[in-house]
């Protein structure tokens, strides 16, 4: 009898074989496949919506909530958005073959570092069908074979997308195995794939913290982790208050459910009496619930701004909703200490007019993005100019911050000489 | 009772706390610590040699072979070489704070990528005391706290080196915990350290394949792997034969026990009759035993060059001694296929005067270093101009090839604006 491990090994071996062909495909060929994928998605919109309707019906019957069903839903407008997202990858520069550095050695050897694909990338994500085409497109453009393992509730939708993908690859003269949907969504098959060191070159889990920890704890293959974002905004003593208010409101309230949203506001005690009531009131006006330290509660109560006392668990917490922890800190050192203790190394921001404070903050804070006088919400591949992203890494190995096409590559040394020996 | 895991967690927490201080230390401070380390090593040469003599006596009594004892040995000349190696790191550029890229977004945000240390790096190696000071110096210069876990047979030597390290750190005003010898060499404590995701940021095992596989299979923390080097040299139809002979002899015989030595010679069938006898004779003159494919055996037997038939196990094998597999291949495609099947993605070389062949070879071969018209032996941090290395990574994640100071860093995004929101 064939075990799951054997089945998954054979599956990953097909991917590995295809990865050797994809790694040397031309940019024109990869772009052609992307254009065909967009065309296939549009041509088969009815099939996609039909497959998705079955997934949706099952998910409803299983009692999934409205937010879950909304993430799962495909309608013609969303399929069009998927096709457009795929087309947008065509315009991005192909990272493969890029020479990132080059130099000459005293003995005449010419050395350069050249980008190459990672190989086979296992994408693990939840029931969001658009991630299937997004991830496939990013992997394809960067020369990587994507193994696509979405949530079980979206399996039929993903199968329909995978058919479009397969037709697009063949149409561009690329191996059909150059992007593959994992044929079942059991935990067992995921564990098998995560054990295949040497066949799967990288696993990228996206989704809730539970899923990511499960992958990180069970993988034998390298994993780039995307843990939670416990992001702070620190209002320094020299902050411009109008700017501070605008940034804080945007960081907290523009989209509270995402990882680059602010979860905790730090206010310098030198300006707390003046700044905190104003900024806090602006947050409350946006429907934000404030949970403050003792000093915050005293100041806001006096100013008649609603606030509740924060419990210790409120600092370092990723609320992902319209709740904000607030703390008055004794200057820049206090802010740095708080962030080092409670931050998640995702995104940290300072609002200040002081060049010295900005310099110290950007130098001393360890986070994938350190922001001065702008919203934490800019820690995003699109916003930072990477074009698109497969996620935001909060581990420092290989990639730290948004992972775009370049972060899906490695670099090899190419050494050219005229007969040199040691 | 305190468990090994608890003890090691407390130990790693000390390292993590120190890493926050070391991460923002100035280059001058780190260089001062390196200079003091060299001075301390020289000042305590007698203590080092004495501690080492005890390690040596135990290793001899345990029946270790001459090569093992030679790697373990410290004498005044070797201590001086260690001190000089530490001093050589002073001259290397500090990677921390380097801006590797920067750009401006349409909304005026200024984005740059800035190098920062990885944090806490666990170095796992065998009984070679010089690795203790080398690894400590590279980690220190790159702002990383080194956890030094050498082989048990060198423990007393390593303790003596660690005392010098500790004095040097304190002398430079850095935390004593900024480089730490793991206090015991049990497998249990190594396993405990390898489980501390979030405290240990990277493990770098150096040594035999068994040790590296053990670390890779048991680690919950990221590992950069340094597996074997099964390196090929391919003599293309357009190779200059004098150059080919020089490169092949150097690649195989200059130091056969290292990972960048050639293990297999590939000869294009178009020139095999002419090239193979000459090159093979040069190898035999250096004492190399040849194991050839059927065509090789026929050609060399006719030319009266000693050769034995290769078994299938001889291709893809890391001999690490004066043995060389030899195969006649049907052109560039045959060479590429052989390398894809049997190579270890370490170092692959081509000898050719053809620009097209060199272009295809460098583009299509996946290896940490792809070499044209030079010896495989150049895949080395010093030779390629990285200054020094902690090892050669054969995994594509994070680093591929020699790992120098830059490869011991991550990059964060620093984003500066004047009030931008989304």
Edge-first strand order for the sheet with A145-149 is A179-181, A145-149, A120-124, A202-205
pLDDT value for A14: 98
Residue B392, token pair as written in the block: 């050669």
- Judged on CB neighbours under 10 Å (0-12, 13-18, 19+), A66 is exposed
pLDDT value for A321: 95
Same domain (yes/no): A241, A194 = no
> Nearest CA to CA, how far is B350 from chain A (Å)?
10
Assessment of whether the complete model's pTM goes beyond 0.80: yes
pLDDT value for B228: 87
The answer to whether residues B229 and B260 touch, using CB atoms and an 8 Å cutoff, is: yes
The answer to whether residues A52 and A82 touch, using CB atoms and an 8 Å cutoff, is: no
HSE-CB for A258 with a 13 A CA cutoff: 16
* CB count in 10 Å sphere of residue B270: 14
Same domain (yes/no): B262, B204 = no
pLDDT value for A228: 87
How many beta-carbon pairs below 8 A join chains A and B?
Answer: 209
pLDDT digits over A354-380, tens only?
999 999 999 999 999 999 999 999 999
Q: Do A418 and B23 touch (CB under 8 A)?
A: no
> Nearest CA to CA, how far is B367 from chain A (Å)?
7
Residue B55, token pair as written in the block: 């390690």
d(CA B11, CA A31): 51
Same domain (yes/no): B211, B87 = yes
Residue B211 maps to a domain: yes
List the CATH number of the domain containing A82. Answer: 3.40.605.10
Residue A395 maps to a domain: no
Residue B421 maps to a domain: no
Return the DSSP state at B223.
B
Residue A392 maps to a domain: no
State the pLDDT confidence band at A1, using cuts at 50, 70 and 90: low
Same domain (yes/no): A214, A332 = no
pLDDT digits over A187-223, tens only?
999 999 999 999 999 999 988 888 898 998 899 999 9
Q: Which residues of B touch A20 (CB under 8 A)?
A: 340, 366
Instruction: Indicate the residue of B370, B413, B422 with minimum beta-carbon distance to A401.
Output: B413
d(CA A334, CA B20): 15
Long-range Cβ contacts of B311-318 (<8 Å, 24+ apart): B315/B264, B315/B342, B316/B230, B316/B264, B316/B341, B316/B342, B316/B343, B316/B344, B317/B230, B317/B263, B318/B228, B318/B229, B318/B230, B318/B259, B318/B263, B318/B344
Q: Do A374 and B23 touch (CB under 8 A)?
A: no
d(CA B300, CA B279): 10
List the CATH number of the domain containing B241. Answer: 3.40.309.10
pLDDT value for A314: 98
Q: Do A118 and B396 touch (CB under 8 A)?
A: yes
Same domain (yes/no): A161, A219 = yes
Q: Do B397 and A397 touch (CB under 8 A)?
A: yes
Mutation site, B102, B197, B383, B419, interface A, largest A CB count within 10 A: B419
Instruction: Indicate the residue of B370, B410, B415 with minimum beta-carbon distance to A400.
Output: B410
Report how many domains make up chain B: 2
Residue B391 maps to a domain: no
The residue of chain B with its CA nearest to that of A350 is B416
pLDDT value for B148: 98
pLDDT digits over A141-169, tens only?
999 999 999 999 999 999 999 999 999 99
Is the pLDDT assigned to residue A88 strictly greater than 90?
yes
d(CA B337, CA B329): 9
Q: Is A401 helix (H, G, I), strand (E, B) or coil?
A: strand
Q: Which residues of A touch B397 (CB under 8 A)?
A: 118, 201-202, 222, 397-398, 410
Is the pLDDT assigned to residue A31 strictly greater than 70?
yes
pLDDT value for B387: 85
Tens of each residue's pLDDT in chain B, 422 residues? 679 999 999 999 999 999 999 999 999 999 999 999 999 999 999 999 999 999 999 999 999 999 899 999 999 999 999 999 999 999 999 999 999 999 999 999 999 999 999 999 999 999 999 999 999 999 999 999 999 999 999 999 999 999 999 999 999 999 999 999 999 999 999 999 999 999 999 999 988 888 898 998 899 999 998 888 999 999 999 999 999 999 999 999 999 999 999 999 999 999 999 999 999 999 999 999 999 999 999 999 999 999 999 998 999 999 999 999 999 999 999 999 999 999 999 999 999 999 999 999 999 999 999 999 999 999 999 999 998 889 899 989 999 999 999 999 999 999 999 999 99
pLDDT value for A312: 86
Is the pLDDT assigned to residue A271 strictly greater than 70?
yes
The answer to whether residues A383 and A84 touch, using CB atoms and an 8 Å cutoff, is: no
Same domain (yes/no): B67, B134 = yes
Same domain (yes/no): A256, A155 = no
Same domain (yes/no): B235, B219 = no
Q: Which residues of A touch B114 (CB under 8 A)?
A: 362
Q: Do B412 and A400 touch (CB under 8 A)?
A: yes
d(CA B94, CA B408): 11
Q: Do A417 and B202 touch (CB under 8 A)?
A: no
Same domain (yes/no): A84, A140 = yes
> Nearest CA to CA, how far is B174 from chain A (Å)?
16
Same domain (yes/no): B152, B167 = yes
Residue A88, token pair as written in the block: 């947008």
pLDDT value for B1: 63
Residue A391 maps to a domain: no
Residue A14 maps to a domain: yes
Q: Which residues of B touch A103 (CB under 8 A)?
A: 385
Same domain (yes/no): A243, A220 = no
Q: Which residues of A touch B370 (CB under 8 A)?
A: 412-415
Q: Do A374 and B419 touch (CB under 8 A)?
A: yes
Q: Do A421 and B20 touch (CB under 8 A)?
A: no
As a whole number, mean pLDDT of residues A285-305 equals 98
- What domain range is B288 assigned to? 231-384
Residue A118, token pair as written in the block: 């990672």
Residue A422 maps to a domain: no
Same domain (yes/no): B78, B206 = yes
């Amino acid at each position: 009898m064939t075990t799951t491990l054997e089945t998954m090994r054979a599956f990953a071996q097909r991917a590995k074989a295809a990865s050797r062909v994809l790694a040397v495909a031309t940019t024109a060929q990869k772009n052609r496949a992307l254009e065909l994928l967009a065309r296939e998605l549009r041509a088969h919109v009815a099939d996609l919506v039909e497959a998705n309707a079955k997934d949706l019906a099952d998910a409803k019957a299983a009692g999934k909530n409205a937010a879950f069903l909304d993430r799962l839903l495909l309608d013609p407008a969303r399929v069009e958005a998927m096709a457009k997202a795929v087309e947008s990858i065509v315009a991005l520069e192909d990272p493969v073959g890029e020479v990132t550095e080059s130099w000459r050695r005293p003995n005449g050897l010419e050395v350069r570092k050249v980008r190459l694909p990672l190989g086979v990338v296992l994408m693990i994500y939840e029931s969001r069908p658009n991630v299937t085409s997004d991830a496939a497109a990013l992997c394809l453009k960067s020369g990587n074979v994507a193994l696509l393992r979405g949530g079980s509730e979206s399996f039929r939708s993903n199968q329909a997308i995978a058919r479009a993908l397969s037709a697009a690859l063949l149409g561009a003269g690329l191996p059909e195995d150059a992007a593959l949907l994992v044929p079942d969504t059991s935990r067992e098959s995921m564990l098998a794939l995560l054990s295949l060191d040497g066949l799967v070159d990288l696993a990228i889990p996206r989704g809730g913290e539970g899923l990511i920890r499960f992958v990180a704890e069970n993988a034998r293959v390298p994993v780039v982790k995307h843990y939670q974002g416990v992001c702070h905004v620190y209002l320094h003593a020299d902050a411009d208050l109008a700017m501070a208010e605008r940034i804080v409101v945007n960081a907290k309230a523009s989209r509270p459910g995402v990882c680059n949203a602010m979860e905790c506001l730090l206010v310098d005690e030198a300006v707390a009496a003046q700044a905190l009531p104003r900024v806090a009131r602006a947050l409350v006006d946006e429907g934000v619930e404030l949970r403050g330290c003792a000093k915050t509660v005293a100041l806001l109560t006096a100013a008649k701004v609603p606030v509740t006392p924060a419990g210790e668990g409120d600092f370092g917490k990723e609320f992902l909703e319209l709740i904000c922890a607030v703390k008055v800190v004794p200057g820049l050192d206090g802010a740095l200490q708080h962030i080092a203790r409670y931050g998640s190394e995702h995104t940290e921001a300072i609002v200040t007019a002081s060049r010295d404070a900005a310099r110290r903050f950007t130098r001393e804070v360890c986070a994938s993005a350190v922001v001065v006088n702008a919203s934490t919400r800019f820690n995003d591949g699109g916003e930072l100019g990477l074009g698109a992203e497969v996620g935001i890494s909060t581990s420092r190995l290989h990639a730290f911050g948004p992972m775009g096409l370049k972060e899906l590559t490695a670099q090899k040394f190419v050494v050219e000489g005229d007969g040199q020996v040691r």
